[in-house]
Amino acid sequence: MNYHKLIIDDGTELNAGTIYCIGQNYARHASEMGSSVPEVPTVFIKPPAAYIPDGANIILPTFSTNVHHEVELVVLIGKDCHIIDIDKASEYIAGYAVGIDVTLRDLQSAAKNDGKPWAVAKGFYTSAPVSEFVSATKFNGKIPDFSLELSVNNQLRQQDSSAEMERSISQLIKYLAEVFTLRRGDMIFTGTPSGVGKIEHNDKITAELKGYKKLSVGVTRC
């Protein structure tokens, strides 16, 4: 199992780059977390080592007792971009996948209360499972809406459409490219809908980009 390569279903392979994640991009999720949609995007970063492919295991760290799943649409960047026109954003997309932003909720809550970064709570090893990517070429230059689902032990927990995102994929690419510069192989986790919840040792998680890609991962302790 290759923990460094990202696979697109047209046969293309890219090296996993930086993972840019967007917080509070679905209003109902922001509400369930006791917050609201911010005026500017909330961005945090996971390192490439957080990525794991379909069939791998999320490893629960010993320093957290409350680990949550957050299903997300993942956008793969196919070529470098810095300052771009928003109507050109689709030209930089190589593919789409379903991913899980695995979150140490207890550490995140403590960091929020203390005004500290979320790096440990969000970027720990195995915190970014991602499915195979569907090639963007299948959508003829358009950015489609996708339906997302996540189940734990065959029980549906999250279900929504990317059409409900507060900021579109094009808006996110334009913003992130200007702030950071996006590179080929970088991924954007575009935010999670409501229904996040706790996962435990031996759980089996399945997530789906409906009609396109599925992701199945296990959960184990260190």
pTM of the predicted model, to two decimals? 0.96
Going by DSSP bridges, is the β-strand pair 213-221/128-130 parallel, antiparallel, or unpaired?
unpaired
Backbone angles phi, psi at 191, to 5 degrees: 110, 155
Q: Is 14 exposed, middle or buried (0-12, 13-18, 19+ CB in 10 A)?
A: buried
Contact 148, 73 (CB under 8 A): yes
User: What is the full per-residue pLDDT of the chain (222 aa) written as tens digits?
Assistant: 777 899 999 999 999 999 999 999 998 876 777 777 788 999 999 999 999 999 999 999 999 999 999 999 999 999 999 999 999 999 999 999 999 999 999 999 999 999 999 999 999 999 999 999 999 999 999 999 999 999 999 999 999 999 999 999 999 999 999 999 999 999 999 999 999 999 999 999 999 999 999 999 999 998
**C-alpha torsion 62→215→36→18, nearest 10:** 70
Q: In 3D, which of 102, 98, 100, 131 has the Cα closest to residue 118?
A: 102
pLDDT of residue 48: 96
User: Residue ranges per domain, the chain?
Assistant: 5-221
pLDDT of residue 39: 87
Contact 136, 183 (CB under 8 A): no
Our CA angle for 164, 44, 72, nearest 5°, is: 35
Q: In 3D, which of 44, 26, 22, 23 has the Cα closest to residue 166?
A: 26
Place of tokens 């080929």: 184
pLDDT of residue 105: 97
pLDDT of residue 80: 98
Q: In 3D, which of 216, 215, 219 has the Cα closest to residue 73?
A: 215
pLDDT of residue 107: 97
CATH of domain 5-221: 3.90.850.10
